[in-house]
Amino acid sequence: MNPRISLCICTYNRPVDLDKCLSSVYAAHPRPNEVIVSDDSADAQPAQAVVARYPGVIYQRGPSQGLGANRNACLRAVTQDYVLFIDDDVCVEPDFFARAVSVLASLPERTIVTGYELNHRSEPVCKVTPHNPDFWGFQHVLPLGDYHALVINSTFFPAALFESIKFDEKLRYGSDEIDVARHAISCGYRIQYSEDLYVHHYPSPVNRDEYQSYTEASRLYATFKAYWHYEKAIVKSSIFLLLAPPKLCLALVRRTGFRGCYAAFKSTSLALRYIMTP
């Protein structure tokens, strides 16, 4: 029997992008066995109107607590063997799921398979592949052996993984995919890369300013969490916590002037709040 796929789309105030996304999914053959849209939008009506044009899509209101919480809301509705999360500004090609089924059919147990995305933010289009994190949590290290990162828009997770882990709901935006990758590896899963799996990402400007306020705090928190919780490396996590905030401050000052100090302070304070909150 072919692997069965649940497609989860988290959306937030982007009905036009969502329509393009679902149109590409419904042009695919075969389609996913299940399509779930979880909507964090302030006004539900535009997204509901879009979803109504695509028979069989499961629509639900999201918890409006950020991307991590919305992904978990999707997971509560999943009933199939594998789970794919794509953003609402992503499109797939007609044979994407056919290629995915072929790859998934030969996967060993406890394996996550990830591909890449073609990012259309600017020309030329940028091919974004998984890069492992460096000490500071930036995903800059080209994997020469094991993969410790993934590109979530082209990643198929065994649904069984989410019986033991969930997305960290403190991560409203940013670093959620590296955190779930590290968590899965700590639970005995491995990540396999496939050149056959890719999607097109058309980054929407909607929500970007709001998202930007969380990005650095998420990186600081997720990296500390990886060293402290997954690796159990007390010295490493302590060194990171001591050095990462001043490094961030220096980087932001160089980029934006002295107002970067305030931005670094805000990000560090938010990261520390995440760390201290059970």
Asked if 201 and 127 count as a contact pair (C-beta separation under 8 A), the reply is no
Say yes or no: 123 and 86 in one domain: yes
Say yes or no: 79 and 175 in one domain: yes
Say yes or no: 46 and 117 in one domain: yes
User: Could you report the per-residue pLDDT of 87-132, keeping only the tens digit for each?
Assistant: 999 999 999 999 999 999 999 999 999 999 999 999 999 999 999 9
Look at residues 201, 230, 256 and tell me which one is the last residue of a structural domain: 201
**Which residues of the chain form beta strands (DSSP E)?**
5-11, 34-39, 58-61, 82-87, 90-91, 111-119, 126-128, 132-133, 139-141, 155-158, 190-201
**Residue 240 sits in which domain range?**
208-276
Say yes or no: 61 and 19 in one domain: yes
Say yes or no: 94 and 109 in one domain: yes
pLDDT band at 262; cut points 50, 70, 90: very high
Segment 8-24 shows an average pLDDT of 97
Say yes or no: 226 and 263 in one domain: yes
Look at residues 174, 201, 228 and tell me which one is the last residue of a structural domain: 201
- The domain that contains 32 carries what CATH number? 3.90.550.60
- Predicted local distance difference test score (pLDDT) of residue 211: 77
Asked if 92 and 197 count as a contact pair (C-beta separation under 8 A), the reply is no
Q: What is the pTM of this model?
A: 0.95
User: Could you report the per-residue pLDDT of 149-206, keeping only the tens digit for each?
Assistant: 999 999 999 999 999 999 999 999 999 999 999 999 999 999 999 999 999 999 998 8
Asked if 35 and 7 count as a contact pair (C-beta separation under 8 A), the reply is yes
Say yes or no: 128 and 174 in one domain: yes
Domain count of the fold of the chain:
2
Say yes or no: 88 and 170 in one domain: yes
Closest of 243, 208, 193 to residue 223, by C-alpha: 243
- Predicted local distance difference test score (pLDDT) of residue 278: 85
Asked if 153 and 195 count as a contact pair (C-beta separation under 8 A), the reply is no
Say yes or no: 188 and 246 in one domain: no
- Predicted local distance difference test score (pLDDT) of residue 209: 79
pLDDT band at 210; cut points 50, 70, 90: confident
Q: Which amino acid is at 105?
A: A
The angle subtended at Cα 104 by Cα 101 and Cα 110, nearest 5°, is 155
